Homo-oligomer: A and B are copies of this chain.
Amino acid sequence: MSVRAVHHTSLVEKAVAELRRLIGDGEWPVGTKLPGEVELSRLLGVGRSTSREAVRALIADGQLRAQHGSGTYVVSATPVSEFDRTLRRGRVADVYEVRVALEVEAGRLAALRRTPDDIAALRAALAARDAASTGPELAEADVELHRLVVRAAHNPVLDEVFTTFLGALRATAASVIADDRRSPDQDDRTANAHRALVQAIVDGDPDAAVAATRQNLDPTLAILR
């Protein structure tokens, strides 16, 4: 006989889950003003105090913000953890430096563990990056390539941590990096470094991957410092 522990879910928790779903699924995008207390509790099918407690939980998570006299608003589609706040408070250069630490190791591991699928994806991303003309498009293709490198390391934890860092950097450092108008010369060097990185991973050469990753990231780090 297999006994499964009975899991008690209070109404508050259910209400929290429903609110999370509404926000996470995009039915209530960031900026949405929630219905009033009475209406909201009617929608959720619970009493007013219960829905208030659910809202309070999401406020603690950083997903909602209540403004006295005005309303309650969605401020984030995902829970903003203490960790995110730390990263956002930290100096950009420091955050970036940790990102480098993660990505260097990711590149090394990717060279050791890449699968044929990884290789195909990396080559495609590299081609997309080369094809991307300028500005946001290039930045997007760039991020995608880096993300794939990390994915090729086949470490879910590393993947998630890296994603968190990317998000934090995108929020705080986007302008810094975008404002830095790069010379064509520098662009060439960076493009070459990316090619070298992919090649090193394809070749299964961890040391070369480490070197290429550094070559990719160090210039930006130098600008930030």
A binding-site residues for B, Cβ under 8 Å: 8, 10, 12, 16, 49, 52-53, 56-61, 68, 79, 81-84, 86-87, 90-91, 94-95, 97-98, 100-102, 104-106, 109, 155-158, 160-161, 164
* Nearest CB on B from A58, distance (A): 8
Query: Which of B82, B94, B106, B161 touches A156 (beta carbons < 8 Å)?
Result: B94
Q: Which residues in B have their C-beta under 8 angstroms from that of A158?
A: 94, 97-98, 101
Q: In the complex where A61-B60, A102-B101 touch, is A155 in contact with B109 (Cβ < 8 A)?
A: no
* Nearest CB on B from A96, distance (A): 9
* Nearest CB on B from A95, distance (A): 5
What separation, in Å, do the CA atoms of A16 and B57 have in the docked complex?
12
- Which chain B residue shows the least CB distance to A80? B82
Q: In the complex where A101-B105, A102-B101 touch, is A86 in contact with B56 (Cβ < 8 A)?
A: no
What separation, in Å, do the CA atoms of A151 and B104 have in the docked complex?
20
* Nearest CB on B from A86, distance (A): 6
What separation, in Å, do the CA atoms of A209 and B132 have in the docked complex?
39
On whether the beta carbons of B98 and A155 are closer than 8 Å, the reply is yes
Q: Which residues in B have their C-beta under 8 angstroms from that of A16?
A: 60
Could you show 28 A-B contacts with beta carbons less than 8 Å apart? Answer: A12-B56, A16-B60, A49-B49, A53-B53, A56-B57, A56-B60, A57-B60, A60-B60, A79-B82, A81-B81, A81-B82, A82-B83, A83-B164, A86-B157, A86-B160, A87-B157, A90-B157, A91-B156, A94-B155, A95-B157, A98-B102, A98-B105, A98-B158, A101-B104, A101-B105, A102-B102, A104-B104, A104-B105
